[in-house]
Structure 1
Amino acid sequence: MAPRLPRPRLAQFLHHWRRALALLLLCALVALLLSVDALFAALHQLLAQAAPYIGAHPLAGRVVFVALSGLSAMLAFFSSAVLVPMAVYSWGRAGTALLLWLGWLLGGACAYATGRYLGRPMVRGLVPARLADFYLRRLPAQVDFPTALLFQVAMPSELPGYLFGLLRVPFRLYLAVLALVEAPFAAGTVLLGESLIRRQGGWMLVLAVLGLGTSLLAVHRLHRRLRAGGGEED
């Protein structure tokens, strides 16, 4: 018989699986909607109508996009992903990926500062309290690079900055991990946006499965590492 997981850890595994399944179902729904000619035509009409306004304000448009991307890295209920197709349509893949990456770095730095200087009461109002408490009890006092890297890949993007700030993880370590992890995720998000524009529903699902599979694998490796280091509590 396979060993049973401790209840708190099992609850967290289920949380991550439910989140991954919900995101995958959302991508499947979007892919299905892309097959409706009227909806796909309406999407392109919307993008075509927005492009002249964005082109008329190139600097302001980019600043707003970076700011909203940063906000999405701090708040669980807000996502900049809905803006990515419009950004790709206006600025291309490379420009959008760079702006998205810069926005996520900015948001992560602000989340870190919030955790470090404003403390736990503020953080508990911005992230799921149960999830934050679970990992605050299990992360080691001195977070090393491999643990920080796994945590950044495994968790929702808004969580690591707040918790690493609370734990006083060196900012240069967090920033290095953040920059390394968010670069491929930014590229993947841009490819998802482009697949939406090009009506490539199958490619969209492949990218979603790859991204979510990577995160779930990181969750598994993270828990094994925490348990091996004595950080897991039953």
Structure 2
Amino acid sequence: MKFNKVVFSTIIVFILSSCSLKYTTPGSDVKISSLADEDVAKILSNKPAAEFPVNIAVARIQAPNYSNNSYNRRESTPDGRFSMILTREPDEEKVISELSKLKGIKQISPFNRLLLPYNYQTIKDLRLAAAKMKAQMLLVYTFDTEFSIDAKNYGPQNVFALGYLKNKEVKVRTTSSVALFDVQTEYLFGLAEATAEKEKKSNIWKENQEVDQLRMDAEKESFSKLAKEIEKMWNDVYLEYNKNK
């Protein structure tokens, strides 16, 4: 009898702790096009100035005050229009390293915290920082990660209890988007994107990390697919704009 009471109490504590544990969906992406120069006439008149081989500065940006379950540092200022993510996952570093081997690229370098402006609002601010790095091109990318639970969609920064997930199908969909700009003129060389989806159903969700692993897997696969799209885009850019070919 005493043993049964102990078991019962343990089950109750576990259920209550599962319900009290909460998971917060990650912040949103950034619509890169909204950060470009608003003067349409100027955009259309821009011409590329970069000469091959080029140095490329790389920046990952997200919505203002972005955070996820494993990343809580906020790199944006109160008035900024986006967050700069300076802590990269190992797979992101690997992809960037592989891209540096493409023909026509001298070097690819992620942004250095010391070179960033205090308050960044547009692509121009990133271009200025890239210029300090002696880069001729700017590669900007962002992740748009969405959660759905039994077909119900959850937007960025939504909170739900792990107990709520019991016997429910959790699906995570990530679309990675990238844009390649000329640092000097803001000429847009090209755009690319890729999507990946991960799902899991469990009768017990014990930790936030279990849920967050789906996010990380979806983002990793999406970025890996994006790398292939970037390579295709780059080959086209190199063929069209290399004056020394």
With the shorter chain as reference, the TM-score category is: under 0.3
- Structure whose alpha-carbon radius of gyration is higher: 2
Structure with more of its chain in helix, by fraction: 1
Which structure's relative contact order is higher, taking Cα pairs within 8 Å and 6+ residues apart?
1
TM-score by length of 1: 0.28
TM-score by length of 2: 0.27
